[in-house]
A and B are shown apart, each in its own frame.
Chain A
């Protein structure tokens, strides 16, 4: 028993270690092939990334990444591939910005209203894919990708002067939300960190609790393990598909909030896009685990930040994107290798221990068999 636990621990450490080593080796080889010095690149990254203003920047940047990863992970836990987080958070943030810009309530009311609107719109958008899958059997991969494009067009249509947006220089954006709706910040040096990091941490805890400690979470994981076994155990897989898509979309609704409530205060043509896709990579990287995904999000923030500096130091600007790709690949491969190895190891172990057990008490029965044979 104990032995297996120890093995488990070693295996748990082995996978990320293997992935990191492989990723560093491959990236170094790539940098070398461009005729640059990889060691210097890493030194630059670490030095620049550990500066205090970089740290603030990284934390702020990783909050939406993390929320996006959570949204994707909810689907992943039951084998649903929600590629549509990108469209979901943009539609959600857009309509939340519209509502926020139109209302002037006290902050303690207006902020929750904006967040709830965002979550509801995100859920609605992903719910379309969920309902289509449950009722018509349409693959959620297809529908969510298409809904991303529809989301883009929908926002494009409304984000025009005279519709729901106003013109500001070359940009169009929704009316600014009132000052009372600006999210609080945490006083740090040299700049404050956006308070939404607290919400993100909370979301991580809720995610962990619901998935691991509730009946609903058990049903969800059961569907992820084996749809047929879950169905036979009494889970309505169709209802589960719709519910988890709704939850995934609601979580996606949060992704745009740190930006809307913390820095942009409106939804404009320059609102960040593509975070939904980053979330997919991060959910893979963090193995759908709340802490793993947090580390992954911070790593991504770090790479984003130091990538800019690498460019100043004369490295190709694409090198950081290459690193990201290499890391995701290495992690996915390393975990799968270690998982398979672990499974085989465990089967061997079980066989071994049972054989040992049998040998211990086997002698008595052997005699008996000898007599009867």
Chain B
């Protein structure tokens, strides 16, 4: 089992945070508590009564509900329909359901609008719908799996207000997060899991983020700070006036990238901040060649690659750490060594001519596993059986092994534990010192500010603001991400100035 000797006690009417490295066994524990997996030994007690959960339905019947990290909502249905879906027996699908939704929404300050289509909702609203769904099914204990991963700071605050509201009404919240500052601000109790077992239970008043992180990793904590500049004068990636339209499912054509211009020089990390869905994914896919821009140009190391196929771009030295590693980075049911070849099958050591070189590929996979500390019993296991952090380390190892000139890193440490996070940051920093140019997209503002040499803010398909990572704060960046501020962001007076600059990408000076 992934877990052993887990002891955790959650008090009624409290917010209890569960922190730990990825692969430490948090998800397994959650799955057991929610009835998706059965423990080999040990007991679960709810309200003094020993229980066993054979399925999520059994857990819900006991008042335990789960809000997953990836939302499970039907986009083309309204909020009310989504909430009632699968729980029609409780309050029907009509007036009674609506009444119940409004009761819950008012009681916990969720501000739900039942008639809005889910596709028109932002991430934070969707999350509230998910929470409501669980409450609607009668949950008194809520399990939230990394709820803040997709939110900007202001939205996180709003979520925490909701959680406090729930707590005040006597509900219990079990909350998983990697962001220790947040955990400390909202939790009443904190349990730390390391390597499948509970190592500590602490009170937020008695601890600091640093101590918590050290408990999680079991050693000293690194930070993303990189202050000494390695930026050179040679442009590696130049993007000019990039324009991309996409046709959405209704057939309407809309602009997703509008006049994007920037330059990344050798040894420079350009960080792009933005609320998800503002064109970052499309920007990455256009630079990777997975989407064809209808205007503007992309130049890599002096060569125009605006319309070159993806494979050529990879061979020319673009490394890619995708945002969604399951969709774009891995073949989940294939062994690790086949995953090592993915994206680089035309290059050494994976093939010679048209023929695969399985021996070298296997040997090199062993090397990556060792050098990048991918925790796995071997290279024949499928990628799916590794934890998220280890999958990501494999991807980073793979991409770095081909000595890219430009690395596109989209949320490189999302869902990755503190230990792996530090290793990935180290890799990026080291390669940057050797002249790597990095395009960094991240929702983790600390990571962006800590790693970047230049910061840009993306809003509705345009780069609307820039900032100096040496002085900017996450809050100031957050307000630009919601479109409230643009232009050059100065510390203290973040408001007002217009004229988003475009062109040379000189960045904040």
Contacts and interface: CB of A to CB of B under 8 A. Distances in A.
Interface of A: 1, 4-5, 212-219, 221-222, 225-226, 228-229, 231-236, 343, 346-355, 357-359, 362, 365-366, 368-369, 372-373
Contacts of A347: 384-385
B1 A348 contact: yes
B328 A229 contact: yes
A355 B218 contact: no
B382 interface: yes
Interface string B1-26: 11110000000000000000001010
A226 to B, nearest CB: 6
Given A218-B341, A369-B219, A228 B328 contact: yes
Interface stretch (B90-98, B132-140, B307-315): B307-315
Given A1-B380, A228-B328, A218 B322 contact: no
A4 B345 contact: no
Contact of A369 (B2, B215, B385): B215
A247 to B, nearest CB: 15
A369 B381 contact: no
Given A233-B342, A349-B377, A354 B23 contact: yes
B211 interface: yes
Interface in B104-142: none
A252 to B, nearest CB: 24
A217 B350 CA distance: 13
7 contacts: A218-B341, A229-B327, A234-B346, A236-B310, A346-B382, A354-B375, A354-B377
Contacts of B382: 343, 346
A213 B359 CA distance: 11
B40 to A, nearest CB: 10
Nearest to B376: A350
A226 B329 CA distance: 10
B100 to A, nearest CB: 37
Interface in B299-322: 309-314, 320, 322
A4 B381 CA distance: 8
B378 A218 contact: no
Given A215-B351, A232-B328, 13 more contacts: A215-B354, A222-B331, A229-B331, A231-B310, A232-B290, A233-B344, A233-B345, A234-B310, A349-B381, A354-B2, A357-B375, A365-B219, A369-B214
B214 A355 contact: no
Contact of B214 (A213, A214, A343, A373): A373
B386 interface: yes
A234 B354 contact: no
Shortest Cβ-Cβ A-B pairs, 6 listed: A234-B311, A351-B2, A233-B343, A358-B195, A232-B328, A365-B218
Contact of A229 (B211, B314, B330): B330
A346 B333 CA distance: 11
Interface of B: 1-4, 23, 25, 28, 194-196, 199-200, 202, 211, 214-215, 218-220, 288-290, 309-314, 320, 322, 327-334, 338, 341-346, 351, 354-356, 358, 375-378, 380-382, 384-386
A123 B409 CA distance: 41
Instruction: Identify whether the interface residues of B are mostly helix, strand, loop, or mixed.
Output: loop
B195 A355 contact: yes
B311 A235 contact: yes
Contact of B377 (A232, A343, A350, A359): A350
Nearest to A342: B382
Contact of B4 (A1, A217, A355): A355
A213 B356 contact: yes
B355 A213 contact: yes
Contact of A352 (B1, B215, B358): B1
Residue of B214, B314, B345, B351 most packed against chain A (CB within 10 A): B345
Contacts of A4: 377-378, 380-381
Given A213-B355, A215-B351, A357-B375, A234 B381 contact: no
A234 B343 contact: yes
B331 A346 contact: no
Contacts of A359: 195
A218 B356 contact: yes
Contacts of B332: 225-226
A300 to B, nearest CB: 28
B219 A368 contact: yes
A316 B497 CA distance: 87
A227 to B, nearest CB: 9
B334 A225 contact: yes
A229 B356 contact: no
Nearest to A369: B218
Contact of B195 (A5, A346, A362, A373): A362
A225 B343 contact: no
B381 A358 contact: no
A372 B194 CA distance: 15
A1 B377 contact: yes
Given A350-B377, A368-B219, A232 B343 contact: yes
A4 B336 CA distance: 14
Nearest to A210: B354
A200 B86 CA distance: 52
Contact of A215 (B202, B211, B313, B355): B355
Residue of B313, B331, B376 most packed against chain A (CB within 10 A): B331
Contacts of A366: 199, 218
B345 A218 contact: yes
Contacts of A212: 356
Nearest to A3: B377
Contacts of A221: 334
A231 B309 CA distance: 10
B379 to A, nearest CB: 9
A294 B384 CA distance: 31
A222 B342 contact: yes
A343 B322 CA distance: 25
B310 A232 contact: yes
